[in-house]
Amino acid sequence: MEKTFLMVKPDGVQRSLVGEIVKRFEQKGFQLIGSKLTVISREQAELHYAEHKGKDFFERLVTFITSGPVFAMVWQGEQVISLSRTMIGKTNTLEAAPGTIRGDFAVHTHLNLIHGSDSPESAEREISNFFKSDELFEYNKVI
């Protein structure tokens, strides 16, 4: 089953949007198999956003993502990587469609509430940056 890494950023935690965000993925039918509220280190943040190193927004991004607790999650389901990104909405929040998380709740590209892996390779790397294997739980869904 496909897995992805999703992370409610410090702005989403501070705005008490964790429940709203989790609810959307649960209602869609995806399965939460790991989660933690954590403050990430600079080293962990730089690894997570390695592909953006050198870009003009990198420093601000790392400073922001380490500024307070994030809610890190692993979800699984059919096509969860692409479908969860559709549910999150465009990175540029001004272009994010209504009905998406960013479209409904965010107006700033830096304060865009949630990160989602963009490929199976990113998902694997990002999951292992945040979770040990014994922090992920396989269980049967009744429905």
Among 21, 74, 115, 127, binds ligand CMP (CB under 6 A): 115
Regarding 91 and contact with ligand CMP (CB under 6 A), the answer is yes
**CA distance from start to end of the chain:** 16
CA distances from 68 to 42, 55, 74, 137 (A): 12, 22, 20, 26
Which residues are bridge partners to 4 per DSSP? 75
Among 1, 26, 57, 97, binds ligand CMP (CB under 6 A): 57
Cβ proximity to ligand CMP, 33 vs 126, nearer residue: 126
60 known ligand binder? no
36 known ligand binder? no
CA distances from 3 to 33, 64, 125 (A): 9, 26, 11
Which residues are bridge partners to 100 per DSSP? 98
66 known ligand binder? no
Say whether 69 sits in a helix, a strand or coil.
coil
| Residue type at position 117 | S
Regarding 110 and contact with ligand CMP (CB under 6 A), the answer is yes
Q: What are the residues binding ligand CMP (CB under 6 A)?
A: 52, 57, 61, 91, 109-110, 112, 115
- Catalytic amino acids? 115
- Residue numbers in the known binding site for ATP are 9, 57, 85, 91, 102, 112
